Chain A
Amino acid sequence: MYRIGIYGVAILLTLRLGSGTALATNGVQSTQGQSLQAGPYLVQVTLSQNPPSVGQTFTITVVSQDDLALAGRVIAEPENGTDAIPAHANLNAPPDHPGTLVGILSLSVRGDWRLIFEFNGPLGPASASLSITAQVPFDMPTWLGWLIGLIPLALFLWWLWRQGHYRHQLLEHTGQEKPGPGEQGL
């Protein structure tokens, strides 16, 4: 019963994390666009989730205020204190909206990120950046992580102690207190 209880807690916690993720997916939040000046280009940047949730894709929409046909890409670089590697996404123009660019990105670690937009258009190349903070649905404290992580070790040590009794029984029944090394050569 004890073992079932412990695994019940672990499974419930996993489900809790899963349901938090699901809520964040369903609760997609379109945000107000933010104006950015990238060299000669004035663009409006909108994130489908702001703040974005870690591990989930979100759409970045860039609209040229001057309706210029742009090409480009976005690089998400982790800020100091965010232990991650950069993420990249191409920004593509839908066929019927030449002044709009759309890209899909996913951030791997919670914390502060800088989105760097690189554009190329009729007025030459240019870039701009935007700071965002990636969030998680549930913050698991370190002590809770270790408490869950060490449960199998505790069970293993308990089982090892039981095996000591089992070994004693085996050796008693076979009359071999200590089986000698090398009963038979190869």
Chain B
Amino acid sequence: MEHLAGRVNDSGIPQEKFVPESDRGERRLRQVAAWLILYLLLQAEFGLAWDRRWHDLVGRDQFWIPPHITLYSGMAGAGFVTLLVVLLDTFRYYQGKPGVDDEATISIFGLFHAPLGFVLLGFGALTDLVAAPLDNYWHELYGIDLTLWSPFHVMGTIGGIIAGLGLIYLFASEAAIERAYDHPGHGFLGLLPIEIGAMIALAAVMEFILPALTTFVPITAGSAQIPTYAMPLALAGAGCLLSIQRLTGKTGAATLTALMVWIESLATQTTIPTALNLVVPRTGYVYRYNTGPVFNLTIALVPCIFLITALIIDGLALLGQRGKTIPRLLRGTWLPGVMIGILAALVPPFLVQLQMASSLPYEGSQVLQPGWFNTLLGLPVALAAGLLGAFLGAFFGDIWHWNRR
């Protein structure tokens, strides 16, 4: 930690001399691995979204179906790259290579040495690879129509989230190191390329929860039903958008990330029906209810919630940057948390109404049509999730801004 106590530049960033030439090998190794893992995790995420629609429309009768292969090959590939880097960095650590010391790595079991991001990635990938056969067995025991709330779906989801966090740690630590150079390179819109990697990864985390919204079924309390679909939206949205703003320290990063979610979501919603129609008949499967997939306009439009919240976050940051006085009441992280809570509760039912009023077919469940009274009942839950997300966003954002391990 001593290295952080050195001199600082105008932005308060600990400043160091030019990175020595010998250190560039380590930077290249970590950054190439980070981009490769980003691709593999995006592939796994696409596989998961495809798998979810496959289960709904086709059913589940065996493990080796194309969505599972897409999902698990992505996770296994990420795990393999991670293992390789952990072994390489351990080797380089014992060789005393520059950039691979106790300040740039953490110790695992006192034997291995690697950056924290790779350790998290490895743990997440391992969790998913253990969860996969156990989930398969659970389906064999209890049937095909298990929701997210089965033990090994939860285990796999936690593994995916941990792997995603690991990837963000990885990009963020490299960005923190690059920011500490005397003359950090500037990429697109003043962002370092490695910061853009972190934004894509955070956008992927937000996009990750969209296909799962309908698995958050209402909590029944007497005759009322308290909707819970807003929880993941508010938690992930507030957390990711605030953290990217703090990670980069740049106004506009949250808005750009929200736009990335929208692009990813549109791409997923457009591609999956095509992928299903292409693969299902060619692999001998049939649609179980004789209806094929349709474009889900509601899910495609839900990211507008993230965009509005991101504009609020960046707007407040811009005011602060221009030296405007922000009323004390509006400072801190609570406002984006509250805003996204309200939007996450109200916007999805409105979008469903919109889609049903149009001529487009609606494929979703009743979960996103709670009725306005029940929607209001769900508002406190959404607000609590938004505030928790904002707290976690600030928490991780601070770590990601400074952490170089």
Chain A interface residues toward B at CB < 8 A: 4, 7, 10-11, 13-14, 17-18, 54-55, 82-85, 87, 106, 108-110, 136, 139-140, 142, 145-146, 148-153, 155-156, 163-164, 166-167, 169-171, 173-176, 178-186
Contacts and interface: CB of A to CB of B under 8 A. Distances in A.
A184 B190 contact: yes
- Centre residue among B4, B12, B151, B189 by max chain A CB count within 10 A: B151
Nearest to A184: B250
Given A83-B145, A146-B151, A182 B130 contact: no
29 contacts: A7-B130, A14-B130, A85-B144, A85-B288, A108-B60, A108-B61, A108-B62, A109-B141, A109-B143, A145-B150, A149-B155, A150-B154, A151-B155, A152-B127, A152-B162, A167-B395, A170-B4, A173-B4, A174-B402, A179-B398, A181-B249, A181-B316, A182-B314, A182-B317, A182-B318, A184-B11, A184-B190, A185-B190, A186-B189
A145 B154 CA distance: 11
Contacts of A55: 62-63, 136, 140
A82 B246 CA distance: 50
A181 B403 CA distance: 17
Contact of B59 (A85, A146, A148, A149): A85
Given A150-B155, A170-B403, A186-B189, A14 B162 contact: no
Contact of A169 (B1, B62, B316): B1
B251 A186 contact: yes
Contacts of A152: 123, 127, 155, 158-159, 162
B138 interface: yes
A47 B145 CA distance: 28
Nearest to B159: A152
Given A163-B399, A182-B317, A140 B127 contact: no
Contacts of B373: none
Contacts of B61: 84-85, 87, 108
Contacts of A83: 142-145
B331 to A, nearest CB: 9
B94 interface: no
B1 A173 contact: yes
A141 to B, nearest CB: 10
A77 B314 CA distance: 56
B206 interface: no
Given A85-B60, A136-B140, A181 B245 contact: yes
B340 interface: no
Interface string B378-405: 0000000000000000010011011100
A186 B256 contact: yes
Nearest to A82: B143
Contacts of B133: 14, 17-18
Contacts of A54: 140
Contacts of B256: 186
Interface string B240-283: 00000110011111001000000000000000000000000000
Contacts of A142: 151
Given A149-B131, A171-B398, A182 B140 contact: no
Contacts of B130: 7, 10-11, 14
Given A83-B142, A108-B60, A167-B398, A156 B253 contact: no
Nearest to B124: A152
Interface string B219-250: 00000000000000000000000000110011
Nearest to B137: A17
B321 interface: yes
A182 B249 contact: yes
Nearest to B153: A149
Contacts of A166: 399, 403
Contacts of B8: 174-175
Contacts of B126: 7
Contacts of A148: 134, 151-152, 155
